Amino acid sequence: MSESGFTMLEMLFSFSIFCLMISFLPLLFQIIFYDHAVEARIQKMEWELFISQTKKDIQSSDHVEVVNGELILIKGEESISYQKYQNVLRKQVNRKGHEVVLQNVASVTFSKEENAITIEVKDLFHHFNQATIFSFISSVENGVEEE
């Protein structure tokens, strides 16, 4: 007579497979319900860092101009440029290097008004950021400083 049933060994094996499958559920839920808020917070911190570094560069430069959608800073013998490249904003010194200063950029606009530079960025998450940075460069014409 043959009795079919689970032995203790079969039961432990089945339970271990069940526990293994259940342990992957939180990871699966995390992948399925990925929170884009984390990505947005990182993008916001990156924007704040970018503005802080750019403000430092602009305020320590000798000359600032916007040419063909690029922000160009002249500091002594160096020319520092900020430009959009693919989906990043990069910084180059003397047209060399590739320092990524902002990621996930859909569009960027630089505009110059007297002693201020306005930077407008739309990211790939459709968020719009804008900052105005005032430089310490004074306009000098015919040896007379303008105020």
- The mean pLDDT value for 16-32 works out to 89
pTM of this prediction exceeds 0.85: no
- Exposure string over 42-59, b if 16+ CB within 10 A, otherwise e: ebeebbeebbeebbebbe
Taking 60 as the threshold, does the pLDDT of residue 54 lie above it?
A: yes
List, for residues 74-119, the tens digit of each pLDDT value: 999 999 999 999 999 999 999 999 999 999 999 999 999 888 999 9
In this structure, which amino acid lies at residue 137?
A: I
CB neighbourhood size of 64 (10 A): 22
Query: Is the model's pLDDT at 10 over the cut of 90?
Result: no
pLDDT at 143: 41
Q: With cut-offs at 50, 70 and 90, classify the pLDDT of residue 39.
A: confident
**Residue 115: Cβ within 10 Å count:** 14
Q: Strand 78-85 and strand 140-141: pairing?
A: unpaired
Average pLDDT of the residues of the chain: 85
Of the chain, the percentage scoring pLDDT greater than 90 comes to: 55
Confidence of residue 125 (pLDDT cuts 50, 70, 90): confident
Residue 63 in this model has a pLDDT that exceeds 70: yes
